[in-house]
Amino acid sequence: MPQLTEKLRRNSEEPNSLISVILVAGIPGSGKGRFSYALRKHLGNEHLRAHDFKMPSIEKSMRYDTGEFVNELNTFCSGISTHIDVIVAAMPSYHHLKKAIMELRKSETFTRKFEIKFVITKVRAGNFYMTPNCNMFQFLIENCMKGIAHAVVLEKGFID
């Protein structure tokens, strides 16, 4: 954990150092927000100044727009008066994750302040069993294998 902590820690002596971002992606109802909160608390226990971020409204979280996501993230960070090492950000939608990451990396507004360090895909087992199209599992694993996501977190959860 010390290497991970140091990779995420922001250099407080350098005023223009970038805020580390961990993106948490997954389909609706997979527990991205809850996982982001738990990860943020864990990072705080490792003496990182961490915050979790989720789009402020359900309407905004149902569709993804890079510009809107960056604006909301900037607004969120400007409301925090203390030094920030890392933001654990729940992505509003899983669709086109690769495209979203590319757009974020191309966004001057985003790259001026933030740097994506990790992408985590959050999966709840119940989502697969409730969905008639189970190809989603294959899609998630392929994204991890292609290097889009660094890790897949599979939560057993409650299955009816």
pTM: predicted TM-score of the whole model, two decimal places = 0.81
Query: Measured between alpha carbons, how far is residue 96 from residues 79, 93, 139 in Å?
Result: 29, 8, 11
Mean pLDDT of all residues in the chain?
79
Average of per-residue pLDDT across 85-104: 82
pLDDT grade for 14, boundaries at 50, 70 and 90 = confident
pLDDT tens for 42-61 read: 998 888 999 999 877 655 65
Tokens coding 152:
């897949």
pLDDT at 68 over 70: yes
Fold of the domain spanning 19-153:
Rossmann fold (3.40.50)
Percent of the chain past pLDDT 90, that is, above it, reads: 28
Give the best-scoring range by mean pLDDT among 26-35, 38-47, 56-65: 38-47
Average of per-residue pLDDT across 128-142: 58
